[in-house]
A and B are shown apart, each in its own frame.
Chain A
Amino acid sequence: MRGELNIGNSQLGGYEMVDYKLNRRKFIGMTALAGAALASPAYIRRASASGGEVNIWTYNDFVPQSFKKQFEAETGIKINIRLVDDQGKQFNLLAAEQPNPTVDIMTVAGHRFLQFIDNKLLAPLDTDRLTNWDKINPTFSESDWATINGEKWGAPILSGMEVLAYNSELVSMEEALTWDTLFSEKYSGQTAYIIQDMMSIVMLMLGYDGNMVAYLNDPDKAASIVEEAKQFLIQRKPLVRKYYDSGAEVQQMFVNQDIALGHSWNGPAAALINDGFPLGMTIPREGSYGFVYTYNIANNAPNLDNAYTFLNAILASPEIGASMTKASGFISTYKDASKYLTDLEKRSTSFPEDQLANLQFFRAEANKMKYGLVDPAVEAVKAA
């Protein structure tokens, strides 16, 4: 039987079966070899950890490279770092891993403690095991937000705050001393802020307690305050250029001169200053909030002893604190760390006394109520 089989001209028609097969085999073989060769150092690396390992979740640059090498060489414990880029992701990741987490040490911001503690994700810190605990500035290590239920939950390493950052070629220092400038007609379309952080600041501006601790027993008042702050922001929505979420965005906005001033964390702002960009930052007179990054031990951590060894080692000297500051722009919690900074770095990580007097720390006690009200308000502002 004769059939008309016409497949048509596809671009890659039939091949020389035998020849093609050989070439294909060669191709696959080569690729596999190449891949194995390039990946092998990793294998060798993993196999040689004699003292065990410690698994850490932290932000980029929070564990200095030089420290990591030295620690691994001296103790034989391998440091495995997994980079996170915000608190929320850390929480999600940890929650999804319960009840047997793969992580030993995490980097939780102090005012987020309760969320983690309530979900039994953290283990209390046994400060007796940390001989270098006293190397931390007591303003941080012994502050009341750090002690919950009589226990300590983390070792403070870096401190940040909400600041008003401004392009010093476009905005004057006097203008930057008040948050009102952020909402002025003069700079309409040239400002940016993070809505959620700004809600707390607006509450301060309106004369209320941004931590909402004072209203723990008065939920109606709390709700009305949040409503007022929300309306404040909604009314001024036409003036803002962008609502952003991450430090990298506000940095890019300054570099591209898309904004003249904005709300920012001091870390990203300091990084710009250190790079030579004409940026200034202030803690305006209405006040602002600060937060502290800490290293915490996970509940049920797989390598508990190694975790304590790591913590003790990283707290050992102020130079380590200084290198953290150099990398992130945030302020070190170690005593005397500033001695190891350059002049420019010192300038970008310090504020005049009178401005610091206006600074408070974020507190965790009323967070559940506060964010229960603030988060929907943030959505409302975005959707307005």
Chain B
Amino acid sequence: MSRGNRIALACIYWAFVLYVFVPLILMILMGFKDSKFIGFPIRSWTLDWYTRIFSDAEVIQTFVYSVIISVLSTLISVAVGIWIAVLLEGRKFWGRAFIFGMMVLPALVPGIISAIAFRIYARWLEIEPGMGAIIWSHAVHNVPFVSLVVMARLSTLPKSQIEAARDLGADPLIAFLRITLPYLVPAILGASVFCLLLSFDDFVRSFFLGGYEPTLPVLIFAMLRSGMSPEINAISTVALVLTAAIGIWAERFTRKAKKGLT
């Protein structure tokens, strides 16, 4: 690749990074504004919003609640999503298109409809609104994303590898566990990240299926009615720092685990 091309590419790359971070920096900045509203100019600064958040255990609790819901619903969607993807990428069978359509369904329905439909469905199944119901709705909603990503990766696995394993005497389950699954790991990781994000940020489902304990987006949306305040920005910043910390720690942890092999 020529030098000129490479520089141009680097420029686009860093411009993109800038684009992604500038609104974020603005958000963090606004958390320090001494006013009930956000926006320029910032005439005076304050740490009050942060002290408010930390003295009120409710915000931290809401954050932990959201995290637990995200993790649990992700575990479910990834497991189910992989299973469905394996079914769909396998040999052709009658009704495959129909199954594919059903799989993709939850992703196509606009949030508010899906949330109301689930609420009514939950009532019919006698499921109480609350944490379980939220996890369930998130898990179902995220399955299409998992399946699509895993199917894409699965389609590039050369069939010969599985066949070779079978020839060597492995049964289908072991072949899956020892060949297919490790090959899918990048896709699984990517899909898990999607699901965690989608679940953590979800508002409509959490609102309709939740009980009296709000998730973080529900809390923020309710606070929004009194105006977008620096306090909301401060809460988001705190959530961000905590998630970033967890993410970086997880990355370090994975690196250490990798080091363990060679």
A246 to B104, CA, bound (A): 33
Residues in B with CB closer than 8 Å to A14 are 182, 261
The answer on a CB contact under 8 Å between A80 and B227 is no
Determine the interface band of chain A, counting residues with CB < 8 A from chain B: 35 or more
Given A82-B212, A96-B208, are A15 and B225 also a contact pair (CB < 8 Å)?
Answer: no
The answer on a CB contact under 8 Å between A7 and B183 is yes
The answer on a CB contact under 8 Å between A89 and B207 is yes
Residues in A with CB closer than 8 Å to B208 are 92-93, 96
Q: Which residue of A lies closest to B40 (CB)?
A: A256
The answer on a CB contact under 8 Å between B228 and A251 is yes
CB of B102 within 8 Å of the partner chain: no
Grouping DSSP codes into helix (H, G, I), strand (E, B) and loop, the B interface class, with mixed when no group exceeds half, is: helix
Residues in B with CB closer than 8 Å to A274 are 36
A102 to B211, CA, bound (A): 9
Determine the interface band of chain B, counting residues with CB < 8 A from chain A: 35 or more
CB of B258 within 8 Å of the partner chain: yes
A118 to B64, CA, bound (A): 41
CB of B68 within 8 Å of the partner chain: yes
The answer on a CB contact under 8 Å between B37 and A15 is no
Given A59-B225, A97-B123, A255-B38, are A38 and B60 also a contact pair (CB < 8 Å)?
Answer: yes
The answer on a CB contact under 8 Å between B37 and A272 is yes
The answer on a CB contact under 8 Å between A27 and B253 is yes
A71 to B261, CA, bound (A): 60
Q: Would you list which residues of chain B between 46 and 79 have a CB under 8 Å from chain A? A: 57, 60-61, 64-65, 67-68
14 pairs, A vs B, C-beta closer than 8 Å: A1-B168, A3-B167, A7-B182, A10-B185, A16-B261, A41-B61, A42-B61, A42-B213, A85-B222, A93-B119, A248-B226, A271-B36, A271-B227, A327-B226
Residue positions of B touching A, CB distance < 8 A: 35-40, 57, 60-61, 64-65, 67-68, 116, 119-120, 123, 129, 161, 164-165, 167-168, 179, 182-183, 185-186, 207-208, 211-214, 218-219, 221-228, 253-254, 256-258, 260-261
Question: What 6 A-B pairs are tightest by C-beta distance, nearest first?
Answer: A83-B222, A255-B39, A80-B212, A16-B260, A96-B119, A275-B36
